[in-house]
Amino acid sequence: LKKTNAINVSYRGDIDYALALCYYNLNEYEKALNSTIFAYRYYQNEDNFQQVGHCLAILADSYKNLNLNEEAEATYKKLIRTSEMLGNHKLLNKGIYEYGLLQTNKVILEETLTLFDLPLEQNSGDVSTQLESILSKIDLMMKSNIHKDKIQKYVKYIKNLSLQIEDKTYYFLSLYYEYKIEKPSQVNDFLEKKLIPFLEKSDCSSKLIVYYKELADYYESIDLKKSLYYLKKCMHKNEYTNLAHII
């Protein structure tokens, strides 16, 4: 790029996008923003909306990590609209979730929670999309301290549906939130003895990092050896749970 006038080179956008991902993974968010903006403009001119969506994900996450919350919110809104248009329900679901985490105004938060119905309405036959959307909604409600009575109906719905379709993964995940609401003192024991061993035996490695981190934080003040054990598991998995990698 430095040695040639690469403005009109056909693969320029792909190079900028690759650089953006590299900078993002190195936590160099300002450089990631710069490269992503170039790639974003290129893909816009090419009408490559799938890649436009991916660029928006990196931009939004980078703004968030730089504490530029207004820019992050505006970009998440664009991401939600774009992923809805593309029918990319996985990206849509995560975009809504991350956008919701930025909301401190309770009125806006309530409006954001209703956005989770979008992937449900558009993909009513896809049970996994339905379950993932509801799980994200539950998680956002928990982190936003929504009253537990409002959350319990969603937990019960997932639990019943997972039993109907005989899906143990979503059944165990519903139990996790049930413990969080009804038996918070026992949730870490459930994680260690039930949920994590089950997920480790199943093909659900992308979900494990969150629970490893939760146990690592729990043990940090009471058992440093165990805390380090779960932190090492996080590092070993090397799974990406941020929005930029839902591509």
Is the predicted pLDDT of residue 244 greater than 60, yes or no?
no
User: How much of the chain, in percent, has pLDDT values that exceed 70?
Assistant: 87
pTM: 0.71
- Which pLDDT belongs to residue 3? 55
> Rounded mean pLDDT of 186-215?
88
- Which pLDDT belongs to residue 239? 47
Q: Are 30 and 66 in contact (CB under 8 A)?
A: yes
User: How much of the chain, in percent, has pLDDT values that exceed 90?
Assistant: 48
Is the predicted pLDDT of residue 240 greater than 50, yes or no?
no
- 243 or 225: which carries more pLDDT confidence? 225
Residue whose pair of structure tokens reads 């749970």 in the numeric block: 241
**Please, what's the b/e burial string for 20-55 (b: 16 or more CB within 10 A of its CB; e: otherwise)?**
bbebbeeeebebbbebbebbbebbeeeebeebbbbb
Q: How confident is the model at residue 8 (pLDDT cuts 50, 70, 90)?
A: low
Q: How confident is the model at residue 103 (pLDDT cuts 50, 70, 90)?
A: confident
Closest CA to 62 of 36, 84, 38, 42: 36
Q: How confident is the model at residue 143 (pLDDT cuts 50, 70, 90)?
A: confident
